[in-house]
């Protein structure tokens, strides 16, 4: 079952008379329930693609769908509702509220979600059940990122989009963050897309998509990770 699909997806940034092609006709298919990794050099278009899939940015040409819904045909209001109801985001920087505990940071989201997970349960999923009442400044970088991940999953999104979640972490701490994403993918079945340079992810992913210069070069399936049911 496909959850995302794109045809000829193109993104051009125009500044004055300079045009930068971030995406040059990307045809892509992502399978529901899978953990997919986007790899490729800096500037190859990975973030641009992730932002379009998440409804944070618009394509210049081509089409993209989330299930039966055409993202590239949505109004701004529809894209906002799509992001709110279906997508969790994780970025390199955690953006936690310094004056709130881990639990309270997660509760900020669960207050407005329709069928949220209790904050303590979301934090347990990322291995932070012993840090509920800690403030961000009392947590390591990896722990803060795991709070951000708990916040992203607490509204039970169908899709979790992660742009360099390990970018500010050393590789060992980064692995712990990626393991939290793998657990979420396994236990909740959340379709997960991750941009990371941490090589540890390749064994965890169902599929690795290689980008170069605004195009998909290669898609490699990981035979050692069973497909989701």
Does position 18 interact with ligand ADP (CB under 6 A)? The reply is: no
Give CA separation, 144 vs 93, 94, 111, 129, 195, in Å. Answer: 9, 7, 20, 13, 18
Site for ligand ADP (CB under 6 A): which residue of 20, 81, 97, 219? 20
SS3 160: strand
Out of 8, 25, 43, 189, name the contact with ligand ADP by CB under 6 A. Answer: 43
Q: Residue 52 or 123: which CB sits closer to ligand ADP?
A: 52
> Applying CB under 6 A, which of residues 30, 34, 36, 48 lies at the interface with ligand ADP?
48
In whole angstroms, how close is the CB of 92 to ligand ADP at the nearest point? 7
- Contact letters (x/-) for ligand ADP, 163-182, by CB under 6 A? -x------------------
In the complex, least distance from residue 167 CB atom to ligand ADP, rounded to whole angstroms: 7
Query: How is residue 50 written in tokens?
Result: 């992730």
Element (H, E) at 188: helix 171-188
Ramachandran bin of 43, using left for φ above 0, alpha for ψ from -120 to 50, beta for the remaining angles: left
Distance (Å, whole) CA 167 – CA 90: 11
Token pair 């970025």 is found at: 91
Of 14 and 130, which has the nearer Cβ to ligand ADP?
14
Contact region with ligand ADP (CB under 6 A), list: 37-45, 62-70, 97-105, 136-144: 37-45
The token duo for 199 is 């090589």
Both tokens of 144, joined, read 């803060």
Contacts to ligand ADP by CB under 6 A: 13, 20, 22, 40, 42-48, 164, 211
């Amino acid at each position: 079952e496909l959850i995302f699909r794109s045809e000829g997806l193109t993104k051009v940034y125009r500044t004055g008379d300079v045009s930068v092609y971030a995406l040059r006709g990307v045809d892509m298919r992502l399978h529901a329930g899978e953990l997919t990794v986007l790899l490729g050099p800096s500037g190859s278009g990975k973030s641009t693609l992730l932002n379009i899939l998440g409804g944070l940015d618009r394509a210049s040409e081509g089409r993209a769908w989330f299930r039966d819904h055409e993202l590239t045909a949505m109004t701004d209001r529809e894209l906002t509702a799509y992001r709110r109801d279906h997508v969790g985001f994780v970025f390199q920087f955690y953006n936690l509220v310094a004056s709130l505990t881990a639990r309270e940071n997660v509760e900020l989201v669960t207050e407005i979600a329709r069928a949220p997970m209790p904050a303590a349960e979301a934090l347990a999923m990322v291995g932070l059940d012993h840090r509920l009442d800690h403030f961000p400044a009392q947590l390591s970088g990896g722990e803060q990122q795991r709070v951000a991940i708990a916040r992203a999953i607490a509204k039970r999104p169908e899709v979790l989009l992660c742009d360099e979640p390990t970018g500010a972490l050393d590789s060992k701490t980064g692995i712990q963050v990626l393991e939290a994403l793998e657990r979420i993918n396994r236990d909740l079945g959340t379709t997960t897309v991750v941009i990371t340079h941490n090589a540890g992810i390749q064994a965890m992913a169902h599929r690795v998509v290689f980008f170069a210069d605004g195009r998909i070069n290669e898609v490699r399936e990981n035979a050692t990770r069973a497909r989701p049911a």
